[in-house]
Amino acid sequence: MTYSALLPSFLIGAVASARSMTPMATIATVRLAGQRMPGRLFLLDHPVFKLGALAMGVGEVLGDKMKSAPDRTVFLGLLARVMSAGIAGAALAPRGQEKAGAAAAVGTAIPLAYATLAGRKRAMTAIGQTRSGLIEDALVAAACAGIVALAVKRGR
């Protein structure tokens, strides 16, 4: 196993630190389009989970702009990041390295959740919650699309 083989898993963990559901929603979208993932998918090949991941991704993007949205570092926020990063990290890892991919993604997502929260709070002070959230959404969506595309290309 090389660390470069797990690069997409590490990167998807970084994305999950900012948006917990976006990694799974992106992978579900790619699977609905008929693309294969490098690693074995846990849950996300079941139609109910694919649609659920998409719905949770949309809900997270909308809910993040609400004044009552909790910090990403509360227990349930971190738990969502562990689950999402683990599932996505495994899916983006090479076959046979799914556990290492999950561990890489989770190990990246949790500490970075605190860093991305600090950055978001600074941005909210400077430009407001909605604008900072929209910018974060755009960055996360672009990063997620690029990471998943890289992993799919490498997995062929």
- Report the pLDDT value the prediction gives residue 94, as an integer from 0 to 100: 93
Average pLDDT over the chain, rounded to an integer: 89
Spatial CB neighbours of 21, under 8 Å, sequence gap ≥ 6: 53, 56, 57, 59, 60, 80, 84
Task: Tell me the pLDDT band of 6, cut-offs 50, 70 and 90.
Answer: very high
- Report the pLDDT value the prediction gives residue 11, as an integer from 0 to 100: 97
> Does the pLDDT value for residue 156 go beyond 70?
no
The pTM assigned to this predicted structure is 0.89
Q: CA-to-CA distance for 12 and 18, rounded, in angstroms?
A: 10
- Report the pLDDT value the prediction gives residue 1, as an integer from 0 to 100: 60
Domain ranges of the chain: 4-154
Question: 76-93 burial, b for 16+ CB within 10 Å, e for fewer?
Answer: ebbebbbbbbbbbbbbbb
- Report the pLDDT value the prediction gives residue 71, as an integer from 0 to 100: 83
- Report the pLDDT value the prediction gives residue 3, as an integer from 0 to 100: 78
> Does the pLDDT value for residue 12 go beyond 80?
yes
Contact criterion met (CB below 8 Å) for 44 and 50: yes
- Report the pLDDT value the prediction gives residue 155, as an integer from 0 to 100: 66
Nearest by Cα to 103 from 6, 5, 16, 4: 6
**Could you give the C-alpha distances from 51 to 8, 25, 30, 62, 68, in angstroms and in order?**
23, 8, 12, 17, 26
> Does the pLDDT value for residue 102 go beyond 70?
yes
Residue 153 vs residue 104, higher pLDDT: 104
Q: CA-to-CA distance for 74 and 58, rounded, in angstroms?
A: 20
Per-residue model confidence as pLDDT tens digits over 50-94: 888 888 888 888 776 777 777 888 999 899 999 999 999 999 999
The residue length of the chain stands at: 156
